[in-house]
């Protein structure tokens, strides 16, 4: 059992790293090829697609994982019926997008948006089967296949002179090929879809009723995460949206760290929350400390080297306006890292409704701050809004988890970690300001690590104790 869990975690972790590398290659490719204005157009359309996909999904993907995992005998029906719901909604929203693109604001790109809207639901349904059967290796492979195809297909279309339509077509084709590859695996290894999966009215009505809570949670979260790009595009246009997107997408890959940590500790916290509160608090404390130990030096380093990072990734001229955006926006990572741990801890305490309420308040605050700051400051206002919104979530999560969070938060160690990051910042900025970017990386690591050890901000034994506590929880 433990070996299977470990294998799943390791395989998924490796797959996510490879998938993220491929996604970074895709982002660099389109950012360099499109320019800031067209990148802004693509960012707007992609965020619109993501929100519409959440509506079309109607919470079916997470519900499929839960339902198929508990009733594998009827897997085919639980695969086919949600697909019927998804594509019924896809037809409605795709028709609306086409009508808008043809009559309200003519835009040929809307046709490609429709293709992605029809391709994405099938892919989501396929990966939900792999999650339900606890085949994290196949789940990870699916994303590698999709992102690899996305890079290749987009490059081919860009080389033919296509612009915004190139990555949209890349998404559509990559989703379709990856999805049908997954269906082949499902048919061969798990269950037969054709001939056994039936569309039943009673099942569909049950799915619509039970999928609603999942949908509301996913929809509010999607609005919170995506509204900044949409509103920036409406208020300031594509150019500034592209500059903001260029800095934002650099940081998105760094969120993989708290996601992996959160996914790892969540089942453990869920099991011990009522049985061993002291161990719950110990895991929470050390997880927070571990993430702070990573995110504070990352934020400080990117603040200092933002110009080099933008130049290396995108070139010297087109995205110079993204430098200050990156320097500001990187600090949203600090509350965001804490929010992931607090989120999973609240879930373990069965406070899902509180989490949903906090995200909804965060969404309203984000809209209000955007309306106030962006007309005056442009995309820089969006950066301030992003940092402020994450701090609002942090306050909300801390309020609902105030007893365990305040008690177990590593206050002293957090101060030592912040001081170590400050020393690293001082060394890079004032003692060795003129060395190359590639030499700054090891210098930053050495100065930060040495200071952290000297101040006893972290030690190897603590990391070992985290692993030991996780192992003991699994045995119990």
For residue 197, the model assigns a pLDDT of 57
Nearest of 179, 139, 155 to residue 22 by alpha carbon: 155
Half-sphere exposure for 323 (CA within 13 Å, toward CB): 15
Tokens of 115: 């293709």
Nearest of 94, 68, 62 to residue 203 by alpha carbon: 68
CA distance 204 to 162: 41
Write the pLDDT tens digit of every residue in 406-419: 677 888 889 999 99
Q: For 193-199, which contacts have Cβ atoms below 8 Å and span 24 or more sequence positions?
A: 193/76, 193/79, 193/80, 196/76, 196/77, 197/76, 197/77, 197/79, 197/80, 197/81, 198/76, 198/77, 198/80, 199/80, 199/81, 199/84
Do residues 370 and 227 make contact, with C-beta atoms less than 8 angstroms apart? Answer: yes
Three-state secondary structure call for residue 409: coil
Q: Looking at 58-74, list the stretches that DSSP marks H as alpha helix, in order from N- to C-terminal side.
A: 60-70
Quote the pTM value. Answer: 0.85
Three-state secondary structure call for residue 358: helix
Q: What is the CA angle 181-184-185, rounded to 5? A: 95
Q: How many CB atoms are located within 10 Å of the residue 460 CB?
A: 8
Do residues 283 and 270 make contact, with C-beta atoms less than 8 angstroms apart? Answer: no
Tokens of 46: 């992609």
For residue 130, the model assigns a pLDDT of 84
Residues of the chain with pLDDT under 70: 1-13, 103-104, 194-198, 263, 267, 316, 403-406, 459-476
Residue with tokens 């609306």: 96
CA distance 290 to 296: 11
Do residues 280 and 290 make contact, with C-beta atoms less than 8 angstroms apart? Answer: no
For residue 67, the model assigns a pLDDT of 77
């Amino acid at each position: 059992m433990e070996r299977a869990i470990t294998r799943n975690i390791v395989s998924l972790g490796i797959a996510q790293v490879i998938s993220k590398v491929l996604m970074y290659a895709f982002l660099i490719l389109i950012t360099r090829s499109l320019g800031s204005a067209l990148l802004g157009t693509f960012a707007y359309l992609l965020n619109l697609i993501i929100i519409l996909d959440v509506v079309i999904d109607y919470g079916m993907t997470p519900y499929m994982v839960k339902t198929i995992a508990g009733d594998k005998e009827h897997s085919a029906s639980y695969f086919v019926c949600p697909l019927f719901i998804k594509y019924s909604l896809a037809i409605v929203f795709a028709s609306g997008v086409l009508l808008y693109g043809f009559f309200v604001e003519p835009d040929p790109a809307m046709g490609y948006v429709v293709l992605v809207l029809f391709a994405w639901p099938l892919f989501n349904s396929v990966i939900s089967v792999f999650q339900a059967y606890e085949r994290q290796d196949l789940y990870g492979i699916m994303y590698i296949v999709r992102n690899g195809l996305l890079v290749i297909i987009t490059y081919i279309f860009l080389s033919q002179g296509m612009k915004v339509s190139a990555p949209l077509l890349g998404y559509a084709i990559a989703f379709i090929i990856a999805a049908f590859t997954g269906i082949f695996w499902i048919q061969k290894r798990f269950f037969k879809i054709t001939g056994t999966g039936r569309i039943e009215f009673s099942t569909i009505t049950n799915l619509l009723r039970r999928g609603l809570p999942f949908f509301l949670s996913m929809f509010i979260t999607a609005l919170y995460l995506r509204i900044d790009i949409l509103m920036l595009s409406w208020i300031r246009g594509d150019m500034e949206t592209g500059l903001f997107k260029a800095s934002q997408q650099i940081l998105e890959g760094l969120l993989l760290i708290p996601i992996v940590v959160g996914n790892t500790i969540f089942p453990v916290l869920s099991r011990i929350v009522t049985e061993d509160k002291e161990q719950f608090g110990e895991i929470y404390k050390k997880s927070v400390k571990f993430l702070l130990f990573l995110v504070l030096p990352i934020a400080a380093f990117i603040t200092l080297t933002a110009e080099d990072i933008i130049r290396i990734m995108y070139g010297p001229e087109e995205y110079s306006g993204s430098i200050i955006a990156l320097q500001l926006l990187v600090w949203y990572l600090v509350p965001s890292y804490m929010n992931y741990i607090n989120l999973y801890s609240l879930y373990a305490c069965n406070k899902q409704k509180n989490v949903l309420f906090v995200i909804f308040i965060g969404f309203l605050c984000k809209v209000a701050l955007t309306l106030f700051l962006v007309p005056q400051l442009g995309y820089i206002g969006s950066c301030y809004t992003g940092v402020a919104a994450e701090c609002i979530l942090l306050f909300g999560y801390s309020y609902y988890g105030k007893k365990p969070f305040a008690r177990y938060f590593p206050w002293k160690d957090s101060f030592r970690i912040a001081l170590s990051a400050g020393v690293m910042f001082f060394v890079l900025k004032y003692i060795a300001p003129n060395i190359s970017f590639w030499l700054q990386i090891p210098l930053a690591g050495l100065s930060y690590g040495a200071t952290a050890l000297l101040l006893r901000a972290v030690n190897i034994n603590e990391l070992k104790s985290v692993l030991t506590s996780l192992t003991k929880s699994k045995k119990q």
